[in-house]
């Protein structure tokens, strides 16, 4: 993962989590689409219009717009280049807020509300007509899996995923703090197994979750930390300060 990618995820993830808490639409989907649609924040439309998601400006849109060429695949095989109007924003915060408002307010995207499986969410949004690219679903899934974005969906993929997050009373770790991954660590907060090669390894805290998350294995709410080099979320009880 490049520094640009790390910084982009760090910038977008708090907004995505906040939007998820309001709408119950997965934060991982939001982050993945932002990465894909804006080329990790490097596209000209992102730089000039704060447009992360390439949302077209229909007749009901009363805000700012920008005109851009885009490729559409109407027959599932061939791409056609067209020029269309897209929604523009005064800030990234406004853009992410509008994204969640669109998905939670439009009838065709209502099937995303409450969806817990990221693969299903990626499939649904393609089928709902968000994009015409045949590989749109697989591209989103690849980004989510490569960069561990399900960690931002608050709870792990278990039957306890509906349990709401609780505010932490204290934060033990701080960004920049050196830590060691305990040999006893078993799974990331996503529920995926931690490779044996990482057990006992040292790393640096990059970010701390604002809320405690439900750890189904421990049966309790726990703090979690994002480690800089591995760039994955660990339960705070699975690392120790050095």
Structural domain includes residue 159: no
Say if residue 146 is in the same domain as residue 52: yes
Q: Are 52 and 92 in contact (CB under 8 A)?
A: yes
Say if residue 113 is in the same domain as residue 172: no
pLDDT tens string 117-128: 999 999 999 999
> Does the active-site annotation cover 98?
yes
Q: Which two tokens stand for residue 32?
A: 């993945």
Q: Work out whether strand 166-167 and strand 211-215 pair parallel, antiparallel, or are unpaired.
A: antiparallel
Say if residue 73 is in the same domain as residue 127: yes
Identify the pLDDT of residue 171.
53
- 37, 98, 153, 238: which one is catalytic? 98
Considering 109, 131, 153, which residue would you say is the last residue of a domain? 153
Identify the pLDDT of residue 219.
65
CATH number for position 138: 1.10.530.10
Say if residue 118 is in the same domain as residue 234: no
Q: Are 153 and 29 in contact (CB under 8 A)?
A: no
> What tens-digit pLDDT sequence spans the chain (242 residues)?
788 898 899 889 989 998 999 999 999 999 999 999 999 999 887 888 999 998 988 888 889 988 877 777 777 768 888 788 889 999 999 999 999 999 999 999 999 999 999 999 999 999 999 988 889 999 999 999 988 898 888 643 333 333 344 444 445 788 999 999 999 999 988 778 999 999 999 999 999 887 777 676 776 778 889 999 998 999 999 999 98
> Does the active-site annotation cover 7?
no
Structural domain includes residue 160: no
Structural domain includes residue 158: no
Count: domains in the chain = 2
Identify the pLDDT of residue 56.
87
Say if residue 118 is in the same domain as residue 180: no
Say if residue 175 is in the same domain as residue 142: no
Q: Which H helix or E strand runs over 221?
A: strand 220-222
Contacts 24+ apart (CB under 8 A), 120-128: 121/25, 121/26, 121/28, 121/29, 122/29, 122/32, 125/29, 125/33
Identify the pLDDT of residue 209.
84
CA distance 103 to 20: 11
Say if residue 71 is in the same domain as residue 181: no
Say if residue 145 is in the same domain as residue 170: no
Q: Show the domain range for 146.
A: 3-153
- 37, 44, 72, 75: which one is catalytic? 72
CATH number for position 184: 2.30.30
pLDDT tens string 217-230: 776 778 889 999 99
| Helices and strands, counts by H and E, the chain | 6, 10
């Amino acid at each position: 993962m490049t520094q640009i990618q790390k910084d982009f995820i760090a910038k977008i993830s708090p907004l995505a989590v906040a939007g998820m808490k309001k709408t119950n639409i997965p934060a991982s989907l939001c982050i993945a689409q932002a990465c894909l649609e804006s080329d990790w924040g490097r596209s000209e439309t992102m730089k000039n219009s704060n447009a992360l998601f390439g949302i077209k400006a229909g007749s009901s849109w009363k805000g700012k717009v920008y005109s851009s060429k885009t490729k559409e695949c109407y027959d599932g095989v061939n791409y056609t280049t067209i020029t269309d109007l897209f929604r523009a924003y005064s800030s990234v915060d406004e853009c992410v807020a509008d994204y969640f408002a669109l998905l939670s307010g439009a009838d065709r995207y209502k099937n995303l509300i409450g969806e817990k499986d990221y693969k299903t969410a990626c499939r649904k949004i393609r089928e709902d007509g968000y994009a015409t690219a045949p590989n749109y679903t697989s591209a989103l899934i690849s980004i989510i899996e490569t960069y561990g974005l399900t960690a931002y969906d608050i709870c792990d993929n278990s039957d306890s995923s509906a349990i709401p997050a609780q505010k932490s009373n204290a934060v033990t770790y701080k960004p920049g703090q050196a830590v060691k991954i305990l040999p006893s660590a078993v799974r990331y907060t996503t529920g995926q197994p931690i490779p044996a090669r990482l057990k006992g390894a040292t790393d640096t805290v990059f970010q701390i979750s604002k809320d405690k998350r439900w750890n189904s294995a421990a049966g309790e709410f726990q703090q979690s930390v994002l480690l800089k080099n591995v760039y994955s979320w660990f339960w705070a009880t699975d690392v120790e300060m050095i």
